[in-house]
Structure formats: structure tokens, C-alpha cells
Structure 1
Amino acid sequence: MNAAVRPSTRRPQSRLRRLIAPLVVPQVFDFWASRLHPTWTWERPLARIVERSPASADAVTLLLAPNRHWAGARAGQHLMIGARIDGALVSRSYSLSDAPRGDGRIAITVKAIEGGKLSRHLHDHAQIGDVLEIGEAFGEMVLPERSDSAWLFLAAGSGITPLMAMTRELAAQGMPAPLTLLYWARRREELCFVDELRALAAQHPNFRVRFLLTRQAPQHGDEDAGRIDAQLLAQHVDDLSAHRVYACGPGGFVAQARESASVQVRAFEAEAFTPPPRAVEEGGLVEVVLARSGRTLALPRGQSLLTALEAHGLNLPSGCRMGLCNTCSCGKSSGSTRHLHTGAEQTEPVSSLRLCVNSATSHLVLDL
């Protein structure tokens, strides 16, 4: 399942560009080029919003036109999106909600999150013509080159976005293998892509969709109620052992999906957009030395290093805050840490770590 990003779509450098490259200061070039066109840069990927449309009561789909420096992506992958808010660049990870189009345009679907600075900005304020920073695509939960078995997609909340991109890709191929999508939301109005999913189900006999509501009673023939467990999966899926499963949603949902299905199915892949539930580690503080700045801080055990450092006023690069995008990666020259998702302890003295998913278990020296 470890399919790579599709080959770069960047144009090869011209001979003139190669000759003048040593003389160019990219920031200066970008400043003046943006006066001519908002997405012209020397090498920095940018994208302009060319369309926006409502996706649900609390989500909006943005169609983006990247510039020539963006290398492309596959359905199911993520990318970093950045916007300037109150003069500061705020970046977060978003999944593509559609397979990349032939004209290079891509779509993301943004749910307005309470307290989410970027999600509220994109949902409430971003307009057609606005320019966003975009990063390279990442993520390994993508479709294989060949589909040789039935598929089961399990989505909850915003977890529908990468699975919707893959559903659209399979539909464009004529739905080559049977696909069942089970999609959970609290209320009907929070569901995205409902009309399109129903149309695809009507068009492709190989495709079934069921909408699972946890705080409303079902009203339509393709709706049901209940939270994910082994009994519910058996109710909706014949012969679970014949299926490959992709699951995406909050950490607790993904953990329950894994417990309910992973031992029965042919293959199981999952991504969570919130940390899975975890036991709180022992308390106490550890000394963390920031080698480059010369600061020494006392940080709590059991809390992500990123959160703990931010509480001390550090403004550090971050993105997905889930250990996926590598934006917050930093060097460690001594000490041990614990991965907050798996519980694994890392004692190797000279290594790199993702601040968002590791906590300190001993005194540390970080390259910050």
C-alpha cells in the first residue's frame, strides 16, 4: 500500500533559468513577480482559490489552482495549506477531497472547527482569488495500482475527505471492484457529499453507501443509526474477511474500527486526524535544554513537546499535529522520549523526532 506520490508535474528548468539562478534572490523575485500575477514565484508552491461551494452545514469545498512549482498528489494524500491571518502565516494539514484533475486543480473540504484559526478563516473568510501557500503531498493511504478485492471505507466526520477522493477516483475508473462506504456523523446536516454519493450509488451497482447517524434517527433508506463496532459492521458488510479496509476519522473512531475489523479483513489501513485515546503518563517535570537559543525549560511528562514548548511562548513550525507531515521535526542530541500514540520509548541519543507526538521521559537537549 506504500504507493508513492505521482511523478513531479513541474516543468524542467530552462537553460536561461539555470544560468541566472545563482544571481536570483527568491524572496525578492517573489515580491516583484507577485505584482504581475499573484501565484508567480521563483520556486515556492502557491495556489489560488478559483471556486468555493458549501459541502455541509459546517464545511466548504475550495477548488485550488496550484502554480507550476507544485509537484502533484494522489487521491487520499494530505498537503499543508497556509494562509496569512493577522500578519502571521498559519499552516495546517488538509486531505484532498477529490482526485487531482487533468488541469492540475485540486480540492480540499474544510470543516469549521471551534477554535481552529485556519479552518475558521478558510470557512468564513477565504474568497475566490485569495492565494494560499501549499506544501508537497504526503501520506501512504492511497489506492494500489490494481484493485483485486472488495473495498470497505469507514469514515467519520472530516475523515470522509480522503475517502471521498478515492471514491471519486474509483468511480472514474468505472468502479472496478465492489466498494462499500459507511459514513458516520452526529447529524444529517453535518454529512458532506450526500447527493453525489447517492448519485454514484445509483450509477454503479458495485458501490453501496450507508450514512450512520449517532444523534438523530434515520429517515431515509440509506441511513442507519449506531456507533462503530463488530456487530454493526457484520450487519452492513457480507463476508468482512474478503474486504480491504480504509478507515479515517477521529482517533477514538479509528481505534474502534481497528479493534472491530483489523483481525477479520484482508488488509487494514487507517489514518486519524486527532490523537487516539491514551493513558496519562506519570507526572513530574523534566529539564529540556534548547541548544541553539540557550534556554532551559521545565516541561511536564505526558504532554507533547510541541504543546509544552508553545506554553512557554515558543512559536514553532507545525502542521498536522498528528505526526504525519514532519513540519515540527527537530533534532535531539541527548535524552529519551515516548511516542504518545504508540507508547514506544526512543532512547537513541542523536536522532530526530516529531515534537507533536513525543513527550519527554528524561532530561533532553533539543536543536532549538
Structure 2
Amino acid sequence: MNARVLPAVRRRNPLLPRNWVSEELFDFWAGQVHPLWTLRRARARLVSREAASADAVTLVLRPNRHFKGLQPGQHVNLGVEVDGRRLSRSYSPTLLDDGTLAITVKTVAGGAVSQHLSHAAQPGDVFELGAAFGEMTLSTVPAAPLVLLAAGSGITPMRALLRQLQAAGVPGRVELVYWAQTREALCFVDEFNALAARHPNLRVHLALTRDPLNPAVRVGDYDFSALGDLSAAQVMACGPAGFVESARICLQGQVAGFHAEAFSPPATNDVAAETGTVQVELRRSGRTLELPRGTALLAALEAEGLRPASGCRMGICNTCVCGKVSGVTRNILTGEHAAEPASQVRLCVNSASTDLILEL
């Protein structure tokens, strides 16, 4: 008779901290000894803070060993405690030579996180760090022309990409076009100009939309022919959704490739089909809400005083994903409807088209 082979039993190692204390308790007491000591969680300590422009500040953060790193151009979610509430926002860090992360925050009127980071955060403060996400990266340094288009906070991933190109010697032609409202709102200009002075393949172009001394130059009016032949160029654009869409339209058919990330979702164009309200049942909390159609579910839930987990707010990081039991949602980025039951929905970029049941 053949002996029955039983699966090996994994024995708990009583010496491992995770087997004799909860992660939350371990992190709390370890944090009393050193602010970055945790069992598994990635955290970062604020090292310094300095003004980047008239309305932006750069924070330098020291991550702990649990942070898995990132590629230039990617984003991370930064967890911040404001007035006793844990909030999360997405930023694009630049990895500095000493292993610290530089995150530049544009101060937004009424923005709880940006106001806190710009005015209240002090060296020594500790933040949660999410895993890196985003696909606007360079796996290899291109030899073909590369055009970087940035508006407002969209300049932060471009800074990281330029540092990557600098490390490779900027072997190919690179055109950076950077939009801001005024000259005082520009970030890193001295750094970019210094890079351009050292690398003839890099050119920096500034476009100001509210400069009293110069005509307003919005992306839709920009003369891209001044950049030279772009037929073989790859374009990477980052900024508000309207900026990205205008750039895409202007360059359609004129470039070899266009890749973009927008940090605000565009308004739905099908307003007539998305008016009125629907009933949204939150199964876990036992609540039923009347929410407007055509409004992103995350924004609609926040307007009701709820605080679902969220991060990038532009449909990339998946922090706000939750289960949808039934109903039809509409992706406000693409206009597509999704009616499959028992599926996942990203709250930040989907609105309710019919009554819904969500696992919230």
C-alpha cells in the first residue's frame, strides 16, 4: 500500500514579530523608538522643505527600507494626517542622489492636504508611502526626438525624466515645453536651464498664459512648428485634462506617438444623458444615498460626508477601486458604460448611470 503523502505544514516561527503582535501595535511602539521603523509599511520622514515657486513647495523625504522604489515619471500616494483624518494624495517624486525623494506640492485654495504640506508640515513629520504606479516612463533613453509637455504640477514627472536623460548624457534631441500662468509660478527653471547649457540636445521653452508683459500662449495656440520636424517624435504630456486633450488635438497626425497622464478628469460631454439622480446602496455600511448622475462617484460620496480610500483621483493608482454588486456605471474619461454585475469600479473616474449597489 502506498503511503499517503500529506502536504507540508508551515509552522509559525514564534520568533518573528508578526506572529506575536499585531502589525498596528508593532508599528506604534517601534515608531516610538524610531519614526521609520515598521513591520511592513513604507513610510517617509520629512527632512526639509523649501519654496519651489510662488505657489509651490518642495518637500524632501527620507523613505524607510520598505519603500520599493520607483521609475522616473511614476507617482506615489502620500498618506497625510490632517485634523485627525488620514488623507491621501498622489505626487510624482524625483529620486535624489542620496536616496531621498523630492515631492513638489502646488498649494491649492481649499485643498486640505496641499495646505497642510505647504504651511503646517515640519521636518520630522512622518507620512505613509504607497507603491509607485503610472506608465509615463522611459524604459530606454530614446534616440528619436522626445517632446515633453508640462503644465502646472505636470512639471514634476518631467523633472524626474530629465534627470534620467541627463544620467544618460541626453543622447537624442529633447524639447521641453513648460506652461504656467506667470513667471513666478514656474518651478525648477534654473535647474532646467543649467541642464540645457550642459547638453546641447536639450532645449527649454517657456509658455506663460497670464504674463502681463507677453501675449498669452495657451497650448491650443502654441506654434509647435517652432520645435522643428516632429514627424518622428514621441510626445509625453502631463497636466490638467483640458491641457492634455488640447495638446493631443494639436499634435494629432504630426508626431509618431503621444502618451499622456492627466491629473484631473475631464468633464463629461454627454450632459443630457447624465442628468438627474440615482439610488446608490452602500452594502457594508447599510446606507442608501441619492447621488447625481454624471458626477464621479468619489466626488459624490465625499459630498455626502463619506471618505472612501482614494489616491491619484485620475484613474491610475486603483486605490479607490471597490466592488460593484449591480448597476451601470459610466467612465467619465472614455464615456463607456459598464453593466457587468459583481465587478470592480474605480470611484474617481466613474459615475452612476443607474441605481447601484456598491461594496462600501
TM-score of the aligned structures, taking structure 2 as reference length: 0.92
Matched, 1:334 2:326: yes
* TM-fit CA distance, 1:311: 2.3
Contact 1:79/1:93 (<8 A) preserved: yes
Matched, 1:303 2:295: yes
Matches of 2:16 and 2:79 in 1, distance apart?
31
Matches of 1:36 and 1:302 in 2, distance apart?
49
In the TM superposition, 1:99-138 aligns within 5 A as 100-138=95-133
Matches of 2:296 and 2:17 in 1, distance apart?
44
* TM-fit CA distance, 1:230: 6.8
Query: What's the counterpart of residue 3 of structure 2?
Result: none
Task: Note closer, same or farther for the CA distance 1:321–1:255 as it changes in structure 2 (3 Å cut).
Answer: same
- Between 1:105-114 and 1:142-151, the stretch displaced more is 142-151
Matches of 2:285 and 2:18 in 1, distance apart?
33
Matched, 1:233 2:228: no
Contact 1:33/1:40 (<8 A) preserved: yes
Query: What's the counterpart of residue 366 of structure 1?
Result: 358
In the TM superposition, 1:236-275 aligns within 5 A as 236-275=226-265
Larger radius of gyration: 2
Matched, 1:153 2:109: no
Q: Secondary structure at the match of 2:264?
A: coil
* TM-fit CA distance, 1:20: 4.2
Unaligned runs of 5+ in 1: 1-14
Matches of 2:287 and 2:69 in 1, distance apart?
40
Matches of 1:165 and 1:218 in 2, distance apart?
30
Matched, 1:58 2:55: yes
Task: Note closer, same or farther for the CA distance 1:25–1:361 as it changes in structure 2 (3 Å cut).
Answer: same
Task: Note closer, same or farther for the CA distance 1:177–1:347 as it changes in structure 2 (3 Å cut).
Answer: same
Counterpart selection for 2:201 from 200, 206, 209: 206
Matches of 2:15 and 2:228 in 1, distance apart?
58
Matches of 1:225 and 1:288 in 2, distance apart?
44
Matches of 1:319 and 1:20 in 2, distance apart?
30
Contact 1:230/1:261 (<8 A) preserved: no
* TM-fit CA distance, 1:129: 1.4
Q: Secondary structure at the match of 2:307?
A: coil
Q: Match for 1:283: what amino acid?
A: T
Counterpart selection for 1:356 from 348, 355, 358: 348
Contact 1:213/1:226 (<8 A) preserved: yes
Query: What's the counterpart of residue 24 of structure 2?
Result: 27
CA deviations over 1:318-353 (Å, ceiling 9, x no partner): 122211221111001111100011101011112100
Q: Match for 1:194: what amino acid?
A: V
* TM-fit CA distance, 1:30: 1.0
Contact 2:141/2:168 (<8 A) preserved: no
* TM-fit CA distance, 1:135: 0.6
CA deviations over 1:148-201 (Å, ceiling 9, x no partner): 311000111111000111011111211121101000111000000011111111
Query: What's the counterpart of residue 74 of structure 1?
Result: 71
Q: Match for 1:109: what amino acid?
A: T
Q: How many residue pairs were aligned?
A: 347
Matches of 1:298 and 1:145 in 2, distance apart?
49
Q: Match for 1:59: what amino acid?
A: A
Task: Note closer, same or farther for the CA distance 1:230–1:177 as it changes in structure 2 (3 Å cut).
Answer: farther
Q: Secondary structure at the match of 1:241?
A: coil
CA deviations over 1:259-288 (Å, ceiling 9, x no partner): 111422111100111122432243122121
Matches of 1:104 and 1:358 in 2, distance apart?
37
Q: Secondary structure at the match of 2:223?
A: helix
Contact 1:178/1:207 (<8 A) preserved: yes
Matched, 1:39 2:36: yes
Query: What's the counterpart of residue 181 of structure 1?
Result: 176
TM-score of the aligned structures, taking structure 1 as reference length: 0.90
Matches of 2:97 and 2:352 in 1, distance apart?
46
Task: Note closer, same or farther for the CA distance 1:75–1:82 as it changes in structure 2 (3 Å cut).
Answer: same
Q: Secondary structure at the match of 1:162?
A: helix
Q: Match for 2:72: what amino acid?
A: A
Contact 1:218/1:225 (<8 A) preserved: no
Task: Note closer, same or farther for the CA distance 1:18–1:110 as it changes in structure 2 (3 Å cut).
Answer: farther
Task: Note closer, same or farther for the CA distance 1:353–1:81 as it changes in structure 2 (3 Å cut).
Answer: same
Task: Note closer, same or farther for the CA distance 1:202–1:18 as it changes in structure 2 (3 Å cut).
Answer: farther
CA deviations over 1:50-93 (Å, ceiling 9, x no partner): 12221111111111110011111011000001111111111101
Query: What's the counterpart of residue 168 of structure 1?
Result: 163
Unaligned runs of 5+ in 2: 1-11
